Amino acid sequence: MLGGYMGKVLWVHLDTGVIEEQSLPETMMRDFVGGYGIAVRLLYDRIPPAADALSPQNVLGFLTGPLTGTPMPTSTRWTVVCKSPLTGGWGDANGSGFFAVALKRAGYDGVFFTGVAPQPVYLYIENGRAELRDASNLWGQDCYQVEDWVKEHLGQDVEAACIGPAGERLVRIAGVVHAKGRVAARSGVGAVMGAKRLKLVAARGNLEVPIADPERIKELRKKYVGQIMDGVGYADSYRKTGTPSYTPIGAVNGDSPVRNWRDSVAAFHGAENLAFEELLKYRVKRHACWRCPIACWGTCRVEYAGRWHETHQPEYETGAAFGALMMNDHYPSIMVANSLCNRYGLDTISAGGCTAFAFECYEAGIIGPQDTDGLVLTWGDHEAMNRLVEKIALREGIGDLLAEGVQRAAERLGPAARPFAIHVGGQELPMHDPRYEPALGVIYRLEATPGRHTQGCQFLVPPGYESARPDFGEEPHKQAGRGHWVKEALCLHHVSNAAGLCLFGYLSMMATALPDFLSAIWGEPFTLQDMMTTGERIANVRQAFNVRAGINPLAWPIPERAYGMPPLPDGPTAGITVQIEQMTREFLEDMDWTLDAAVPRPEALRRLGLDDIARDLWPQAGQTC
Distance of alpha carbon 389 from alpha carbon 344, whole angstroms: 9
68 or 534, CB closer to ligand SF4? 68
Q: How far is the CB of 292 from ligand SF4 (least distance, A)?
A: 3
Q: How far is the CB of 185 from ligand SF4 (least distance, A)?
A: 13
Local structure of residue 135 (DSSP, 8 states): -
Dihedral over Cα of 373, 379, 382, 386: its sign: positive
Q: How far is the CB of 504 from ligand SF4 (least distance, A)?
A: 4
Report the run of H or E that residue 237 belongs to, with start and end: helix 235-240
Q: How far is the CB of 27 from ligand SF4 (least distance, A)?
A: 30
Distance of alpha carbon 319 from alpha carbon 91, whole angstroms: 24
Q: How far is the CB of 471 from ligand SF4 (least distance, A)?
A: 25
Residues found near ligand SF4 in the complex (CB under 6 A)? 74, 76, 96, 238, 288-289, 292, 294-297, 502, 504-505
Q: How far is the CB of 157 from ligand SF4 (least distance, A)?
A: 18
239 or 387, CB closer to ligand SF4? 239
Distance of alpha carbon 530 from alpha carbon 78, whole angstroms: 23
74 or 372, CB closer to ligand SF4? 74
Beta-carbon contacts of 310 under 8 Å, excluding residues fewer than 6 positions away, are 284, 299, 300, 301, 339
Q: How far is the CB of 436 from ligand SF4 (least distance, A)?
A: 24
- SS3 at position 438: coil
75 or 141, CB closer to ligand SF4? 75
Distance of alpha carbon 572 from alpha carbon 592, whole angstroms: 35
327 or 503, CB closer to ligand SF4? 503
Q: How far is the CB of 507 from ligand SF4 (least distance, A)?
A: 9
Distance of alpha carbon 326 from alpha carbon 257, whole angstroms: 9
For the chain, the 3-state helix, strand and coil shares in percent, each to the nearest 5, are: 40, 15, 45
Q: How far is the CB of 40 from ligand SF4 (least distance, A)?
A: 23
Distance of alpha carbon 585 from alpha carbon 603, whole angstroms: 18
Beta-carbon contacts of 372 under 8 Å, excluding residues fewer than 6 positions away, are 358, 362, 388, 397, 398
Q: How far is the CB of 288 from ligand SF4 (least distance, A)?
A: 5
91 or 181, CB closer to ligand SF4? 181
- SS3 at position 279: helix
Nearest to 334, CA basis, from 266, 270, 290:
270
413 or 502, CB closer to ligand SF4? 502
347 or 536, CB closer to ligand SF4? 347
Q: How far is the CB of 295 from ligand SF4 (least distance, A)?
A: 5
Q: How far is the CB of 242 from ligand SF4 (least distance, A)?
A: 7
73 or 115, CB closer to ligand SF4? 73
φ, ψ (nearest 5 deg) of residue 217: -65, -40
Q: In the 3-class helix/strand/coil scheme, how is 155-201 assigned residue by residue? A: CCCCEEEECCHHHHCCCCCECEEECCCEEECHHHHHHHHHHCCEEEE
270 or 293, CB closer to ligand SF4? 293
Distance of alpha carbon 57 from alpha carbon 83, whole angstroms: 10
233 or 441, CB closer to ligand SF4? 233
143 or 225, CB closer to ligand SF4? 225
Local structure of residue 568 (DSSP, 8 states): P
Q: In the 3-class helix/strand/coil scheme, how is 574-621 assigned residue by residue? A: CCCCCCHHHHHHHHHHHHCECCCCCCECHHHHHHCCCHHHHHHHCCCC
β-partners of residue 124 are 131, 202
**Residue 6 in contact with residue 38, Cβ under 8 Å?**
no
**Residue 93 in contact with residue 175, Cβ under 8 Å?**
yes
Q: How far is the CB of 291 from ligand SF4 (least distance, A)?
A: 9
Distance of alpha carbon 318 from alpha carbon 123, whole angstroms: 30
9 or 289, CB closer to ligand SF4? 289
5 or 98, CB closer to ligand SF4? 98
- Structure-derived torsion over alpha carbons of residues 462, 465, 471, 476, reported in degrees to the nearest 10: -30
Q: How far is the CB of 367 from ligand SF4 (least distance, A)?
A: 37
- SS3 at position 13: strand
Nearest to 114, CA basis, from 196, 216, 208:
196
- SS3 at position 566: coil
